[in-house]
C-alpha cells in the first residue's frame, strides 16, 4: 500500500485545522502498517501523519526487493528525522509509536515536542534494566552476528512467528508475515543492547522534561520481544515525570498487536487516552 509523502501528509494535516496525530513504526514494518489506525483516528477528528524512517520504500514488495535501503539507520537518525517532521506541523501532535517506534515516541516526548504520547510495546532505553530470555532470543536474530550492525536484516518466518506473531493462529501469522514484514536496520538493536553500558548512547530518553506531556505505555501480555518487565521498567523510569504517566496491559496479545486481528482494541485504547488530552 502506497501512502502520500511525509511532507504531503504534513501539509494536509496543517490545512485541515484538526489536531495532528503522528504514527511511528518500528523495525520490520513500514508506515502502511498504521493505515487502519489512521482511518480510525481520522474518523474521530484527527489528522493522521504516517512518516517513514529515512529511505523507507513505499511498499512491502519494494522493501523486500531492495533491503539494502534500510541499512545504517540509527536511533538518533530516526529520532531527528521524526523531530524535523513534527516541527513542520502547526501544532504539537499526539505521537503514537510501536516497538522502536515506541522508543522514538518517548524520545520525541522527552524533547517537549508532543502534546500526548502512546508508546506500544516500546523498545528499551538507557536505564531500563530487565533482559528477559525471550527478548534476548528475538534480538539474537540480529545481534548474534556483529556484522549485522551495518546491515539490513530480514526475519525468517520462524523468527517473525516467535517475535511478533506468537499470540495468533498459524494461518494469521503467515498472513501477517506476507503482508507486513520487511527487512530492518540492525543498528538500533545493537544500540538498545548496549544502552546501559554506553553513556553516549542514542537510545536514551529525557524522562524528566516537564514539557513531556501525558504518556501511556501499552504492553501486550504475551509479547516475546518487549515483555511486561521491559514495558513496566520503562513506565517506572517515566513515572517520576510531573506529567500523567500510565501503563496498561492488553491480555492475550503479542508484539503484532498493532497489525493483527485484534488491532482495534489497541487502537481504541490509544484513542481514548489521546482524546483525554487533546
Model confidence over 177-194: pLDDT tens digits?
999 999 999 999 999 999
* Phi, psi dihedral angles at 245 (to 5 degrees): -135, 125
Going by C-alpha positions, the residue among 80, 98, 74 that lies closest to residue 195 is 74
**Considering Cα of 141, then 270, then 221, then 158, what sign does the dihedral take?**
negative
Please state, in angstroms and rounded to a whole number, the distance separating the CA atoms of residues 94 and 115: 5
Give SS3 for 9: helix
2 pLDDT band, cuts 50/70/90, is low
Q: In whole angstroms, what separates CA 247 from the centre of its chain?
A: 16
Cα 172 from Cα 37, distance rounded (Å):
19
Task: Assign 1 a pLDDT band (cuts: 50, 70, 90).
Answer: low
Question: What mean pLDDT comes out for the span 6-34?
Answer: 97
Alpha-helical runs (H) found in the chain = 6-16, 35-43, 60-65, 75-86, 100-110, 133-143, 157-163, 170-180, 187-193, 228-238, 263-277
Domains of the chain by residue range:
6-277
Position 273 scores a pLDDT of: 98
Q: Is residue 45 exposed (0-12), middle (13-18) or buried (19+ Cβ within 10 Å)?
A: exposed
CA of residue 9 relative to chain centroid, distance? 19
CATH class of 6-277: alpha beta
Q: Which long-range contacts (CB under 8 A, 24 or more apart) does 174-177 make?
A: 176/256, 176/259, 176/260
Q: Confidence band (pLDDT; 50, 70, 90) for 248? A: very high
Cell of 270: 490509544
- Percent of the chain's residues with pLDDT above 90: 97
Is the pLDDT confidence value at 255 over 90? Answer: yes
State the Cα–Cα distance between residues 237 and 268, nearest whole angstrom.
25
Please state, in angstroms and rounded to a whole number, the distance separating the CA atoms of residues 55 and 266: 28
Q: Check residue 32 and report its DSSP letter.
A: G
Closest CA to 131 of 220, 193, 200: 193
> Which pTM value belongs to this model?
0.97
Amino acid at each position: 500500500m502506497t501512502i502520500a509523502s511525509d511532507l504531503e501528509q504534513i501539509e494536509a494535516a496543517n490545512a485541515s485545522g484538526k489536531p495532528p496525530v503522528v504514527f511511528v513504526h518500528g523495525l520490520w514494518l513500514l508506515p502502511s502498517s498504521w493505515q487502519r489506525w489512521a482511518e480510525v483516528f481520522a474518523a474521530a477528528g484527527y489528522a493522521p501523519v504516517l512518516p517513514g524512517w529515512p529511505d523507507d520504500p513505499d511498499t512491502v514488495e519494494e522493501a523486500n526487493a531492495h533491503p539494502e535501503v534500510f541499512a545504517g539507520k540509527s536511533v538518533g537518525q530516526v529520532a531527528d528525522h521524526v523531530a524535523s517532521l513534527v516541527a513542520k506541523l502547526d501544532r504539537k501532535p499526539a505521537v503514537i509509536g510501536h516497538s522502536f517506534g515506541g522508543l522514538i515516541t518517548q524520545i520525541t516526548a522527552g524533547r517537549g515536542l508532543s502534546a500526548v504520547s502512546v508508546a506500544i510495546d516500546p523498545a528499551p532505553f538507557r536505564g531500563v534494566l530487565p533482559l528477559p530470555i525471550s527478548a534476548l532470543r528475538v534480538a539474537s536474530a540480529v545481534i548474534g552476528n556483529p556484522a549485522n550492525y551495518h546491515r539490513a536484516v530480514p526475519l525468517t518466518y520462524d523468527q517473525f512467528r516467535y517475535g511478533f506473531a506468537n499470540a495468533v493462529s498459524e494461518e494469521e501469522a503467515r498472513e501477517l508475515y506476507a503482508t507486513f514484514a520487511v527487512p530492518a536496520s540492525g543498528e538500533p538493536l545493537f544500540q538498545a543492547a548496549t544502552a546501559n553500558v554506553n553513556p553516549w548512547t542514542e537510545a536514551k530518553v529525557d524522562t524528566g522534561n516537564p514539557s513531556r506531556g501525558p504518556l501511556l505505555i501499552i504492553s501486550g501480555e504475551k509479547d516475546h520481544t518487549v515483555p511486561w518487565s521491559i514495558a513496566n521498567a520503562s513506565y517506572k523510569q517515566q513515572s517520576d515525570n510531573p506529567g500523567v504517566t500510565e501503563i496498561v496491559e492488553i491480555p492475550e496479545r503479542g508484539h503484532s498487536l498493532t497489525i493483527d486481528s485484534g488491532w482495534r482494541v489497541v487502537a481504541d485504547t490509544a484513542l481514548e487516552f489521546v482524546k483525554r488530552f487533546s
